[in-house]
Amino acid sequence: MTDDNNNEQNPFEQIFGMLFGANGPGAGQGNGDDGDDGKKGIGGPQGFQIDPAMMSTIMNQMQGMFGQGADAGAQATSIAQRAVPGPDPAVSDEAVRATTDAFRLAELWLAEATDFSVANRSTRSLTRAEWVSETMPGWQKFVLPIKENMSTALTETLETQVPAEMKGILAGASSMFGSMSDSMFAMQIGQAVGALSESVLTGTEVGLPLLPNDSAVLVESNVEKFAADIDVDPSEVRIYMAAQELAHLALFERAPWLSAQVETALTRYGQGLKVDTSQIEEMASSIDPSNISDLSDNIRQGLFNPPTTEDQKKALTVLENLLAVIAGWVDVVVYSACAHLPARDQIREALRRRRATAGPAEKTFSTLVGLQFNPRRLRDAAALFAYLETQGGIEARDKVFSHPDLLPTTEDLDDPLGYSERRHAEWSSESTLDEALSRILSEGLDGTTDNQTPDQSETGEETDSPDDSDPRNED
């Protein structure tokens, strides 16, 4: 990639060199005897032989490949549908009836476990493909900050790394590169959501309100597989998961600012993600100028570097803690509601371990989109809510979500016993909603405690707590 007179080529010089340079389609074409003066096309200091006609052909191919003018949301959904693992059988009438019954029973039990409203939800049992289609708008809303960051990063890369002799030709192609960025991310999110459909059990399992608050769903084939994997009657798993779905929806309805707070955390996390230039280099080394569509296959392999800076890690900690608080409250409420299920302890533990570790589908999602949804401090959050319940009953436990000032922070997960005292000492009851949200989010960026790093509990090899109601028995 180097010669005696030039520094190492950047990735885009490699790509354009292969398309138009010494090894490209325009190489060696000339009409005269005077070297550069007789070459066809536009020459440059790197020896590129750029044939405008060939450039136009390539640009048209890239526009077609990346679907310029196409709706990125429709692209993502189509790609996700094709990525759904099979088999994906239709939901039987028997399964539909079983799901309806499970939600009805879960609703009755939850009404005794929380004052949050869990009634008046439409309930359905979906296939994997149906889950993809119905949740894709929600996914696109929550990953928008990452998409925008990717677009900015790719644009800056093009502006700084495109060979000088190409800039004039590409000056008018900004709209095409914008479409390229949108379509590249559509490929990423489509592949990621398609992979995740293989294991997701409900509409809210990842901790995000991907569907409207009045829509409760189970993914039937995954519920049955999960039940078989943990050797529990599917009817019990179905009831437990229905209770989890209703609890999530009730929480997001009761505290609508939670969704906005997750979006803000995602924005700060997304701002720190970087496009992986080594992926571009790999594309440069393997691209076939005669088959540019191969480029799309390379793009699907993931373009993001993992978080590396302290700000990135702190932003990730804020996001993980938010998801842990949501999951921890749901864990405690559902466990209490499902007291009549013989296998509730087995189901709960299996779900906890599932949430603490990233399975193959979650790892694929993280690679493609640069985002993790594993609330690794779920047990700490559950211990806090269980402790509050023992001290002040259901009202004290659920009051946490009455105002952003009361939302547990990293310090509260480290020391649940001091939660109430810290609230009285550190937080003003006169705070406005915006002030409270700003203060909580800045906690993760400016004052995150170091008692637990983002890598703790990563393996999921957690020791079981004898009594989650006592936070002193934390893992």
Domain ranges of the chain: 76-272+307-473
Give the per-residue pLDDT at 452.
42
Question: The tokens of 263 are what?
Answer: 């979006």
The SS3 of residue 254 is helix
Which parts of 143-256 fold into alpha helices (H)? Answer: 144-161, 164-170, 174-196, 220-230, 234-254
User: pLDDT exceeding 90 applies to what percent of the chain?
Assistant: 37
Burial (Cβ within 10 Å: 0-12, 13-18, ≥19) of residue 387: buried
Average pLDDT over all residues of the chain: 75
CA 245 to chain centre: 19
Q: What are the tens digits of pLDDT across the range 137-171?
A: 999 888 887 777 777 766 666 666 666 666 666 66
Q: Is the pLDDT of residue 329 over 90?
A: yes
Measuring CA to CA, how many Å separate 234 from each of 122, 139, 334? 21, 28, 17
H/E run at residue 143: none
Measuring CA to CA, how many Å separate 208 from each of 149, 374, 474? 20, 12, 26
CA distance 392 to 162: 63
DSSP codes of every residue in 78-89? HHHHHHPPSP-P
Q: Judge contact between 167 and 100, C-beta under 8 A.
A: no
Return the top range by mean pLDDT from 55-69, 270-284, 458-472. Answer: 270-284
H/E run at residue 272: none
Q: What are the tens digits of pLDDT across the range 226-252?
A: 999 999 999 999 999 999 999 999 999
**CA torsion angle 184 189 191 192 (round to 10):** 140
Mean pLDDT score, 21-47: 42
Q: Model's pTM, two decimal places?
A: 0.74
Q: What are phi and psi of 250, to 5 degrees?
A: -65, -40
Q: What are the tens digits of pLDDT across the range 181-218?
A: 777 788 888 888 999 999 999 999 888 889 988 899 99
Interhelix angle 174-196/52-65, nearest 10 degrees: 30
Question: The tokens of 345 are what?
Answer: 């302890």
Q: Judge contact between 318 and 441, C-beta under 8 A.
A: yes
CA distance 265 to 271: 10
Q: What are the tens digits of pLDDT across the range 103-112?
A: 999 999 999 9
Q: Pick from 8, 204, 222, 235: which is nearest to 104 by CA?
A: 235
Q: Is the dihedral of CA 13, 15, 21, 23 positive or negative?
A: positive
The 10 Å Cβ neighbour count of residue 309 is 10
CA distance 356 to 377: 8
Q: Pick from 19, 76, 71, 70: which is nearest to 48 by CA?
A: 19
Hey, which bits of 374-440 come out as E strands? none
Mean pLDDT score, 69-97: 89
Q: Kindly state the DSSP code that residue 39 receives in the 8-state scheme.
A: B
CA distance 176 to 67: 9
Return the CA Rg of the chain. Answer: 26
Mean pLDDT score, 362-381: 78
Give the per-residue pLDDT at 366.
75
Per-residue confidence at 306, pLDDT binned at 50, 70, 90? low
Q: Is the pLDDT of residue 365 over 90?
A: no
Q: Bigger pLDDT: 147 or 279?
A: 147
The residue count for the chain: 475
